[in-house]
Structure 1
Amino acid sequence: MMPLRIAILTHSTNPRGGVAHCLALAEALCALGHEAVVHAPDPAGRGFFRDAACPTVSVSAKPVAGSTTDLVRTRINDYLRHFSTPAACDFDVFHAHDGIGGNALATLKHRRLIPGFVRTVHHVDSFADPMLAEWQDRSIREATRLLCVSRTWADRIRDDFGAEADVVGNGVDLSAYRSEPSEADVAVRERWGLGQGPVILSVGGFEERKNTLGIIEAFARLRARHRRAQLVVAGGVSLLDHAAYRARCRAALVAAGLTIGRGAAVIETGPVPQADMPALYRVADALAFPSWREGFGLCVLEAMACGTPAIVSLQPPFSEYLATTDALFVDPADSEAIAAAMAQALASDTKAQLRAAGKARSAVHSWRACAERHLDTYAACARTRQEPIHA
């Protein structure tokens, strides 16, 4: 295959799973000899949340004070301004990873500035706002080719849209996510006031999709048995408004008598620098990730690579790429079962077994292999300029 110039569009420069996927995919594509350039709206002008071994473009973006719908509309228009000329559209392949980029590319296709585009569907959200729902559907229906990170969502796309999507999976950087302790582990413990533990880690902030309420209820049960237990809630930057759910989580913490703050029972870190994430996984005794809905659950692979046992929902996509011996599977609706899994993860024999199984499982998911699974789709789009998918 001749080297390709690939424009990859994501929704943000912040540390979210989809953004991390785009950067790692682009790095792997560049290592294969292609030029993959990751674009994202950047209203703060600070660039991406980590340095990348691939070209990146911080798209000039206007500040927004209105609703989520106003924000999404503005970000679509930010992209349209950026790609408003043929010179800016000088790429062989355009690849969107969300509805914002997908809608911008659909409009550029109608303006004949680009021939078509690839759309990776990480997962499909349920939006009460009809405009947000329409934008999401349009970004899928008007794509030239569709990709998904799991078979689960590829099947959903077939059932809901009547379209076929290839499965490309996910990866983990084993040079960064390692189980060997480092000085960073000590620094992370000090920064957040982590004691003897046990320490339970939740990634994604206070968000309904992440089942944070279920995690809080389970942790309160664990805390009754382990008085020094701490729950670390990491991340949480999102384009969507989670204020109402966050308030419910805060009320649940108060009701359970759980304080929040550095060194407290519950620590909310906010965005964590990428360089600190491996250490944060390593100092945790378990990753609690019993999500209601995930595209893949990239942080599960990262935790496993760092030797940290993972607690996941007994449902796809986790049951798709994990064996029953790789993690502790729970009903996300059963906080008692989640609490039991937290306690089980602390047992030395369970911890040793999951540590070995998790490291083996994460080792088979490389970003290079993920990048290679994109190449046939890219070649087809660059060569044939196929017509859009119609449900």
Structure 2
Amino acid sequence: MTGPLRIAILAHSTHPRGGVVHALALGEALAALGHSATVHAPDPSGTGFFRKTSCPVISVAARPVSGSTVDLVRTRIEDYLRHFASPAACDYDVFHAQDAISGNALSTLTRRRLIPGFVRTVHHVDLFSDPQLAYWHDRAIFDATALLCVSSLWQGALTRDYGLAALNVGNGVDTDAFGPEPGEGDTALRSEWGLGEGPILLSVGGFEERKNSLAIIEAFARLRQERPAAQLLVVGGASLLDHSGYQARCRAALDRNGLDVGPGRPVVQTGPVPQAAMPALYRLADALVFPSLREGFGLCVLEAMASGTPTIVSDRAPFTEYLTAADTVFVDPDDEGSVLHGMRAALRPSARERLAKAGLAVAEAHSWRACAEKHRPVYASLAARKQEMSDA
């Protein structure tokens, strides 16, 4: 099948997590290429996606859930199945899942012969101790008609651990939305959150184990001994998973180190913020500290770089796939001393200028259009399957 395609892209949430950001940006890039891409996500709050988009979006009716993670995932799969229960709702050329929740829904729709198959992007592979979550996780990979991933790290993991081939499509960044020039709202945000003379270290993703928050806290506590005006700005944290146990450990570490939390305090925790505020928060930071233990790609690294903000990242894949020591400050995420050293290095005035310039170049090299272009052959193959199914 040639020509414009009607593509349904499915995400797990309307909140600003990496896979959701990717889904929306991909939909917009595909629309710019002449396709009709509609991004879907369950929306129990009814408030819609976290930002405005230039491509169509559908907030899927979703029920509130108060039970376990298994209950939540099961309910979200069922929400999707109700939405796509009729042939009319399935009138797309291609279905594309960005996560295991939507992947399981599309797997069931495929078995019901409502759709001919689906594409699945595996942003990263997770390990679940709960057998039901582990089953859903693997089913959304094995049942996919075609697999995509965003880094060579996870491309290799799919081959090694699952015996499956995947195409690496990478990631992009919107350099129109994220830029180094100060904006009108920068000063107001600085005042709103009580950000002082700094330095300001930015952590994106809330307090979460795979974000290595405990190492960030311990390294920052030692930095405060040298730089008493330093502040740690912790942004985001919306997640479907329950991180309460790890968050309690983080609160204990903050208390143990005498780090108060709140606007104007040593640690400023914003929680989820409007997407329109993110470019300013990157610009207000002296460095992004992101020594993640496990990451699909690390979209916030590109966003910080596009904003002219130096970055501190783990010296492991996927970061080492698209960054060099000239672009960022690499640290050992398992060594709090290394994270502290990285903070010191990124805050040196001479390093800041060099890293800001290098980061802008990295950001310019990662466009969403190029990412979308890599999807087109896979989509064409899926669309041909739909045509064969219609002809049969």
What is the TM-score of this pair, normalised by structure 2? 0.98
Q: Deviations over 1:194-248 (max 9, x none)?
A: 0000000000001001000010001001111000000011000000000000000
Cα distance in 1, alignment partners of residues 288 and 337 from structure 2: 16
Structure 2 unaligned runs (5+)? none
Give the 3 Å change call, closer, same or farther, for CA 173–105 of structure 1 in structure 2: same
Q: In the TM superposition, what is the alpha-carbon distance from 1:15 to its structure 2 partner? A: 1.1
Q: Which amino acid aligns with 2:146?
A: R
SS at match of 1:146: strand
Contact 1:326–1:354 (Cα < 8 Å) also in 2: yes
Q: Deviations over 1:246-266 (max 9, x none)?
A: 000000000000000010000
SS at match of 1:193: coil
Q: Which amino acid aligns with 2:116?
A: P
Q: Deviations over 1:351-387 (max 9, x none)?
A: 1110111000110000011100100100011113599
- 1:163: which partner in 2? 164
SS at match of 2:79: helix
- 1:138: which partner in 2? 139
Q: Which amino acid aligns with 2:365?
A: V
Cα distance in 1, alignment partners of residues 268 and 127 from structure 2: 29
Q: In the TM superposition, what is the alpha-carbon distance from 1:340 to its structure 2 partner? A: 1.1
- 1:267: which partner in 2? 268
Structure 1 unaligned runs (5+)? none
Q: Which amino acid aligns with 2:289?
A: A
- 2:52: which partner in 1? 51
Cα distance in 1, alignment partners of residues 231 and 162 from structure 2: 43
- 2:198: which partner in 1? 197
Task: Verify: 1:363 aligned to 2:364, yes or no.
Answer: yes
Runs of 4+ in 1 over 2 A off after TM superposition: 384-387
- 1:95: which partner in 2? 96
Task: Verify: 1:10 aligned to 2:11, yes or no.
Answer: yes
Cα distance in 1, alignment partners of residues 282 and 116 from structure 2: 43
What is the TM-score of this pair, normalised by structure 1? 0.98
Q: Which amino acid aligns with 1:108?
A: L
Q: Which amino acid aligns with 1:162?
A: G
- 2:230: which partner in 1? 229
Q: In the TM superposition, what is the alpha-carbon distance from 1:187 to its structure 2 partner? A: 1.4
Q: Deviations over 1:75-102 (max 9, x none)?
A: 0000000000000000000000000000
Cα distance in 2, alignment partners of residues 368 and 119 from structure 1: 19
Aligned counterparts, 1:375-390, within 5 A: 375-384=376-385
- CA-based RMSD: 1.1
Q: Deviations over 1:18-41 (max 9, x none)?
A: 101100000000011000000000
SS at match of 2:270: strand
- 2:351: which partner in 1? 350
Aligned counterparts, 1:21-40, within 5 A: 21-40=22-41
Cα distance in 2, alignment partners of residues 262 and 41 from structure 1: 32
Task: Verify: 1:174 aligned to 2:159, yes or no.
Answer: no
Q: In the TM superposition, what is the alpha-carbon distance from 1:181 to its structure 2 partner? A: 1.0
Q: In the TM superposition, what is the alpha-carbon distance from 1:344 to its structure 2 partner? A: 1.1
